[in-house]
Structure 1
Amino acid sequence: MFVTLSNTNPDPLYKQVKDQIVQAIVTGELKEDELLPSIRTMANELKISVITVKRAYADLESEGYIVTRPGLGSFVTSINKDNLRDEKLKEIRERLKEIADEARRYYIEIDDVIKMLKEIKEEF
């Protein structure tokens, strides 16, 4: 199973499941039209509630990552990586705004934050 849950992760279990499936789709670990484990199988393997996995799958379906075919199961859909990139850029921008706002409240200059980002870039 490619999903591993952590009790130390502050995210709810359904979000951990969802995020790891999205990551597997984006990286190509899960391919287009690949069948996901059934909700019950995933719940049993992860030792969590069926309702938790059902919530993760429902979110994945509403966000366009999977499609559920009655009687057949849930399958990975084709994703547009450009759209996914654009969505992720918007999400990162919002998080950066939050960081900039927090920095401002503590009298930390944006240039200092930019310097930290450049240092992080060098680490990569």
Structure 2
Amino acid sequence: MNIIISNASDLPIYMQIVNHIKKNILSGTLEEGKALPSIRALAKDLGISFITTKRAYEELEKLGLINTVPGKGCYVSSFNKELVYEAKMREIEEKLEESINLSKMMGLSKSELIEILESLYEGE
């Protein structure tokens, strides 16, 4: 698994791992039932502590994206895609709400904010 850790990121290392694996699961790159690297192997590959990797796997398990089978390892879970979709929609709404609040503090109008969104969405 090719996970790139950035020391310059604002996110803690364990969350960078969570986000990378979550993205791969949700996109279908990591399929249901697929084995993940062991916690120790991933820690060694990334040059990070066992505890950091363990925390990332625990977070993924809390999210219902992986299952740990004692003595065998961690595997991609089967999950309800609708629940994942709803969770992602909530995340988008929260980030948009944060952007709206910031734009109001800056005095931007709704049309200016929409213009920014459209520009970003189109990749300009």
- Shorter-normalised TM range: over 0.9
Q: Letter of the 1:66 partner, please give it.
A: I
SS in 2 for 1:75: strand
TM-score (norm 1): 0.94
Aligned to 2:72: 72
Q: What percent identity do the matched residue pairs reach?
A: 38
TM-score, L = length of structure 2: 0.94
In the aligned structure 2, how far is the partner of 1:24 from the partner of 1:82?
17
1:1-124 matches, cutoff 5 A: 1-123=1-123
| Shift, 1:123, TM fit | 2.7
Distance apart, 1:99 and its partner CA = 0.8
Q: CA RMSD in A?
A: 1.2
| 1:54 alignment partner, SS class | helix
CA-CA distance at 1:115 after TM superposition: 1.4
The CA deviation at 1:120 is 2.3
Worse overlay, 96-105 or 78-87: 78-87
Report which stretch shifted further, 111-120 or 60-69.
111-120
Name structure 2 gaps, 5 residues minimum. none
Equivalent-residue separation in structure 1 for 2:121 and 2:62 (angstroms): 34
Alpha-carbon distance in structure 2 between the residues aligned to 1:62 and 1:20 = 16
Q: Note the residue ranges of structure 1 that are not aligned, 5 or more in a row.
A: none
Give the count of matched residue pairs.
124
